[in-house]
Amino acid sequence: MNEQHQLYENARKRIQQKKRLYFHSVCFLVGSVFLIVLNKLLKVGENFIENWFVWAIALWLFILILHFINVFVTNRFMGEDWERKQTEKLVVKQELKIAKLEKEIALKAESEQYESEVKKNFPENSTKE
């Protein structure tokens, strides 16, 4: 049941990503037409830069392309499976570090216990130091 829910959530997130991209594309088209009309018909910004709307549309197109790459390219290679594998790798790495630290602590405790036993059994050696 949990795996089905996870698959459902993954599919829902993916649909949301695509939906946002499509909405962004429609906004880009409508916005580009609006910028062209604003510049050509209403003469907004002509004394600033003659074809400023071209730069605005080009910048917006670049952002739209990045959004597209994020949804259809990057997410394919770095999706849920990639995240899960990376998480598992990090967990294993942390578990190894914890085991190493626990081993070092155990060795240190053993050496301290050994030193205390030596001092108990041979008090004359401990006074010379």
Gap between the Cα atoms of 50 and 128, Å rounded: 93
**Does residue 23 carry a pLDDT above 80?**
yes
- For the chain, how long is the longest CA-to-CA vector? 103
> Given this model, what pLDDT does residue 27 score?
97
What DSSP character marks residue 118?
H
* pLDDT band, very low/low/confident/very high, at 118 (cuts 50, 70, 90): confident
pTM here is 0.59
- 53 neighbors 38 (Cβ within 8 angstroms): yes
> Given this model, what pLDDT does residue 127 score?
52
- Other CB atoms within 10 Å distance of the CB of residue 25: 13
- 53 neighbors 35 (Cβ within 8 angstroms): yes
Picking from 123, 24, 96, 5, the residue whose alpha carbon sits closest to that of residue 66 is 24
| Domain range summary for the chain, segments of one domain joined by + | 1-78, 79-129
**Does residue 48 carry a pLDDT above 80?**
no
> Given this model, what pLDDT does residue 113 score?
84
